Chain A
Amino acid sequence: MSTGDLVQFGVNVLSLGSLYALMALGLVIVYGILRLVNFAYGELLMVAGYTLYLLGGGPLPWLVMAVLAVLAAVATSVATELVAFRPIRAKSLTAMLITSFAVSTLLQNAALLFISPRARLVPMPEVFSESVSVAGSLVPVRNLLAIGVSVAMLGLFTLLLKRTVLGIALRAAASRFRMTRMLGVPANLVISVAFAISGLLAGVVSLFWLGRIGSVTPTIGLEPLLVAFIATVIGGMRSLTGAVVGGYLLAVVDGGLNLLLPAYLLEFRDAFTFGLVILILLARPEGLVRGPASGLRAG
């Protein structure tokens, strides 16, 4: 492998891994508090995508459209919790799980009905299709941006969780939800903030995810949801660090298989990935990073 290949491989894995890590984090922040795998999570990317599509061709500069798209994902995430999850939160976890499927289907069908089942082009800035030369090999600027933005988001997120009272409350609620409330932290506040962060992460990821594909479809959320889910399972559902580790690891595995598998096996890459996931889970059923001692879920 030449230096150029190595740089390209590194940038690919890092940019993909950064996106995977953010997606996994968005899933796990809600799971940590509600023990709910939010299956409507992928649709948040879809909502951001269609917001971009609807705003495209308008007078707004791209960056403004991007911010609005991210805000649309945040708003959808918070509204979903408010309308769909909050009324049944105290009842049962199964009910919430099924509700999350329902929300997912509802949002997809809304896109089918009101927009189109066919792919719609989303506006992307020119810089997303440019490349720069790094150590003698061409690297898409988009990938470098993905790495930069993700690392900045992870840094910001860590700061929020470690330094602010609200962040500390979020971490506390993930292990002892009742006690967190008994110290004065409103349950609804913690849960709304978790969903808002989840939406923010999904929105930011969607910009880069769509940047790779260039268009949005009603079912675009499925793959990111799956990726986030696998990454959290590898890394450990109970740990935020685990989600990030799992995200990057999954990208390394995917990238490595792309490189190592012979061409006639490449279309079965996912089978190999899942096989590896099974092996990891056999060795460490809780995932690679163990979370805090289990507490009761929020009710």
Chain B
Amino acid sequence: MGTGTVLRLEDLHVGYGQVTAVRGLDLTVEEGELVALVGANGAGKTSTLLATAGVLTPTRGRILFRGQDITRLPPERVVALGIATVPETRDVFPDLTVRENLRLGGYVRRRDRAGCARDLEALCALFPVLGDRLDQAAGFLSGGEQQQLAIARALMSRPQLLMLDEPSLGLAPALVDRVFDLVAGLRREGRTLLLVEQNVRQTLEIADRAYVLELGRIKASGTPAELAARIDLASAYLGAGRAATPGATAR
């Protein structure tokens, strides 16, 4: 595991039209870390991720990737530098086969044909459901299978930083556990990950550090142990103005 800061967000502001979703966010992700960004719906988690991915343009602040300013780069440049994103909507290409989805995931290193073919095989071993359905249209996969495909597709680019937006969203409880196991497994392999989640309890079980986001600002940050001691996580998850339910999990 190397050292050094992979991602640094400085005073990040992101807005859509009149609405400001993120107001002055500072965050770092170190090499080999699994950093979680948790918070209620509308706290600004997804906006932070999409701004980092180059899909949204910040209204203020800077985004640094290994010291390089990527604040205003378009998404295609960001992924070429080594940041892969699995969006909340998964966005598998429904009319493309599983194999074609994966092949496109390796677009940024398409000249390395042999390496791409090797990675595709390795990913099929890691995700057997995908290996069995390589030539099926991705639109026919179940929600859990599509999530696995979206993660595998992102890994095809051999990212230095993998960003996952609510990978457990909308999955059956058994599948949610599998997705968290999978993310923990990626962390153990030494990958650097930024995980956005509403499922606070399970996220803190696997994260090295976490940031709790509320209404576009960081409310607390630290290791899971520090956070558990400091704040009422359930209320952070549910957001202001709603009753806290102990042990609440996402959807």
Contact = CB atoms under 8 A, between A and B. Distances in A.
Interface of A: 165, 168-169, 171-172, 175-176, 178-187, 291-293
Interface in B3-40: none
Contact of B91 (A169, A171, A178, A292): A178
Contacts of B108: 183-184
B215 interface: no
A168 B91 contact: no
A293 B87 contact: no
A175 B93 contact: yes
A168 B103 contact: yes
B93 A184 contact: no
B15 to A, nearest CB: 17
B96 interface: yes
A189 to B, nearest CB: 8
Given A165-B103, A169-B104, A172-B104, A182 B79 contact: yes
Which residue, of B55, B85, B104, B105, has the highest number of chain A Cβ atoms within 10 A? B104
Interface of B: 53-55, 74-76, 79-80, 85, 87, 91, 93-96, 100, 103-105, 107-108, 110, 139, 153, 157
A184 B76 contact: yes
Contacts of A176: 91, 93
Contact of B79 (A169, A172, A184, A293): A184
Given A171-B96, A175-B93, A182 B53 contact: yes
Nearest to A186: B76
Nearest to B99: A168
Nearest to A173: B93
B74 A183 contact: no
A165 B157 contact: no
Given A175-B94, A292-B94, A292-B95, A181 B104 contact: no
A183 B139 CA distance: 18
Interface of A is mostly: helix
A233 B94 CA distance: 22
B74 A171 contact: no
Given A172-B93, A175-B95, 14 more contacts: A165-B104, A165-B110, A182-B53, A182-B55, A183-B108, A183-B153, A184-B79, A184-B107, A184-B157, A185-B76, A185-B107, A187-B76, A292-B95, A293-B95
A183 B153 CA distance: 9
A184 B80 CA distance: 6
Nearest to B150: A179
Contact of B74 (A172, A179, A181): A181
A165 to B, nearest CB: 5
Nearest to A190: B76
Nearest to A181: B75
Nearest to A185: B107
Nearest to A295: B91
Contacts of A292: 93-95, 139
A176 B110 CA distance: 20
A10 to B, nearest CB: 32
B53 A179 contact: no
A171 B93 contact: yes
A175 B138 CA distance: 12
A163 to B, nearest CB: 10
Contacts of A291: 95
A165 B93 contact: no
Contacts of B75: 178, 181-182
A178 B74 CA distance: 11
